[in-house]
Amino acid sequence: AQERFEILKSFFFEAKQFTPMATKPKLDKFLLPYILLSRSGPPEILLLLFIGLARTINLNLQVIRGPERTILKFIDAGKAIMCDFQNQAQLLNTEEIIELINQGCDFTKILDNKELLTQYLLQIKTQRLRERSLVQFYKIQSYLVHHQPFILSHLVDRARAAYAVGDLVKAADAIV
């Protein structure tokens, strides 16, 4: 598993030169076409791409949200291997892992893909709202309702967005 991981890491960060953005970008830089063309994007979205590629080579990566870092974990020959995604997926040594534990990183809390996708959608939602793109905001809310159907605030926000663009039928439908 570690050999496949090193090949993937080399392909992603060196051959294709994907780099995480340090600042919060505008909305167009959150979207996949921009990220694939520029090879740059928010770390959370690059993480989704990296995990998708890992699956194609049968590498099961687990995501752990650390303080100011995203940690990837996988098992190789019965041993847990961890790396810092924002630092070009560099492997963490024992001292760095201990430091993360002392900073409050909970290595037992694994984020699943649905949580990662939801975080991505919430980021796009925030950007759409900032840029007053209400039609797109409505679409993002629809995706969020699909992924988190029991969170009523998504339904309310979707109805408000439809109402704001003047689509009263969709506004009424969003509530029921």
Average pLDDT, the chain: 83
- Cα(20)–Cα(88) distance, integer angstroms: 9
Q: What is the pLDDT of residues 114-130, one digit of tens each?
A: 788 787 778 777 777 77
The answer to whether 64 and 76 have CB atoms below 8 angstroms apart is no
Whether residue 147 has pLDDT greater than 80: no
The answer to whether 83 and 61 have CB atoms below 8 angstroms apart is no
Across the range 100-107, mean pLDDT stands at: 84
Q: Which residue has the higher pLDDT, 17 or 41?
A: 17
How many other C-beta atoms are found inside a 10 Å radius of the C-beta of residue 72?
23
Band (pLDDT 50/70/90 cuts) for residue 27 is: low
Burial class (CB in 10 A: 0-12, 13-18, 19+), 103: exposed
For residue 14, the model assigns a pLDDT of: 93
Band (pLDDT 50/70/90 cuts) for residue 10 is: very high
For residue 2, the model assigns a pLDDT of: 86
- Cα(74)–Cα(79) distance, integer angstroms: 8
For residue 26, the model assigns a pLDDT of: 67
Whether residue 108 has pLDDT greater than 90: no
